[in-house]
Structure 1
Amino acid sequence: MTKAVKPILYGALGGGSAIVEAVLTLAGEPYDMVTMEWGEFDQTDDAFSKINPMREIPALKLADGTVLTESAAIGLWAADRHPESGLSPLPDAPERASFLRWLVWLVASIYPTFTYGDHPERYIAETAGAKALRQATDDRRQALWHHMEASLPFAPWAMGGQMTLIDIYIAAMTRWRPRRTWFKENCPKLYAVAERVDALPALEDVWQKNFGA
């Protein structure tokens, strides 16, 4: 009997691959993990550049050799394979359109503030300009989180009564700047969702490995 080949997830501790780990775990999708050091996947001549020429994580190599990048794409792939997980509303569900809007909004609006803010030197050579970009992206991120806090139902999950991919993003991303204490004081609904996801026994090992708690 031929042994099934699992997808291989390429990631680094504490990064966006933690979101994908959580999603695959909750979906019940078996996978193997290649954990890389930060900076390792920036090397242009390493083996990872053949997996993802953009040298960005997460990347998921499927059994047939197809490589999926972008956390939202991987999340939707897993949710479609495991509709019983409820991580994405079904295509004909009335809440599907709103779910897609907010999922893409997260990865298109908030996520890029880390892309630019974490490494401003890649975009601005002057030290003063790099510091200003870092501060501007931090300020913009907080404004975006306030917008999300005011816009979603949070009853009790971000989209309402069913936990979705969006809640997984919130649980991971609230661990990044400006971090949980800020959310507790400024965006208590987002903070409550993050705490609720944290409490899921199935994800205990994922959060411990990536964030130490």
Structure 2
Amino acid sequence: MIKLYGVPGWGSTISEVMLTLARIPYQFINVDGFDQPGPQRAQLQKRNPLCQVPTLERENGVIMTETAAIALMVLDQCPDLAPPVGRVERQQFQRLLIWFVANVYPTFTYADYPERWVPDAPEQLKKSCIEYRKSLYLWFDSQLKATPYALGEQLTLLDVYIVVARTWGPRQEWFLANAPKFTAIADKMCQLPELHKVLKANGII
């Protein structure tokens, strides 16, 4: 069985929800506290020198990291979680998936631990990153269909990013006031019975 190393509510939640949607069995291993020296960090670092979550260990021992790469792995087994090859929606799916990871993720890297990067002005960096992230979400929202999912009627792995990210900064109240499509998609995802257990375990519902 796949082993997924993560922390409830963190970025590993995205991979948990993906695997759940695809009905791929996995064992979740909680490494809460991995960002500090200790056994959890040592356990994770053996598999991922960057010590990041999610880190996924496949049955054959192959290590997978990066949620976009894990998404592609999931699609190999469950291709219905992306638009069909050759469709315009497929291109939009690929674009927005990579765009989200490449642009939104770094704002958390710098804002969550600003003292690592600018020890003389951590609060300034944190504030700047959060404001920049808001501008990214506004653009992202403008690209969504939200009828009822990001790309229309078909549920895709892109919707997984949306339902999880809504619980991160700037939080649900901001999304409700500023990103109506993002909010509608997240609400729809929270209503899916097959996701209730994993979303509840990660503090999303």
Identify whether the pair has TM-score above 0.5, normalized to the shorter chain. Answer: yes
* Amino acid across the alignment from 1:177: G
Is 1:155 the counterpart of 2:150 in the alignment?
Answer: no
Deviation at 1:24, TM superposition (A): 0.2
Of 181, 187, 198, which residue of structure 2 is paired with 1:189? 181
Deviation at 1:212, TM superposition (A): 5.8
Q: What's the CA shift string for 1:82-106, capped at 9, x where partnerless?
A: 12xx222233333211110000011
- Is the CA contact 2:8–2:202 (under 8 Å) kept in the aligned structure 1? yes
The percentage of aligned residue pairs carrying the same residue is 38
Q: TM-score, normalised by structure 1?
A: 0.91
Deviation at 1:41, TM superposition (A): 4.8
SS in 2 for 1:146: helix
Deviation at 1:35, TM superposition (A): 0.8
Of 85, 91, 107, which residue of structure 1 is paired with 2:85? 91
Question: What's the C-alpha RMSD, in Å, of the aligned pairs?
Answer: 1.5
Is 1:110 the counterpart of 2:104 in the alignment?
Answer: yes
Deviation at 1:152, TM superposition (A): 2.4
Which residue is 2:71 aligned to? 75
* Amino acid across the alignment from 2:113: H
Provide structure 2 residue ranges, at least 5 long, that are not aligned to the other structure. Answer: none
Which residue is 1:7 aligned to? 2
Of 177, 180, 183, which residue of structure 1 is paired with 2:172? 180
Distance 2:138 2:199 in 1: 25
Q: What's the CA shift string for 1:113-164, capped at 9, x where partnerless?
A: 11110110110111xx110110001100111111111122222211122111
- Is the CA contact 1:80–1:88 (under 8 Å) kept in the aligned structure 2? no
Is 1:199 the counterpart of 2:195 in the alignment?
Answer: no
* Amino acid across the alignment from 1:60: L
Distance 2:84 2:198 in 1: 26
Deviation at 1:174, TM superposition (A): 0.7
Provide structure 1 residue ranges, at least 5 long, that are not aligned to the other structure. Answer: 1-5
Which residue is 1:28 aligned to? 23
Which residue is 1:16 aligned to? 11
Distance 1:41 1:90 in 2: 39
* Greater CA drift, 109-118 or 41-50: 41-50
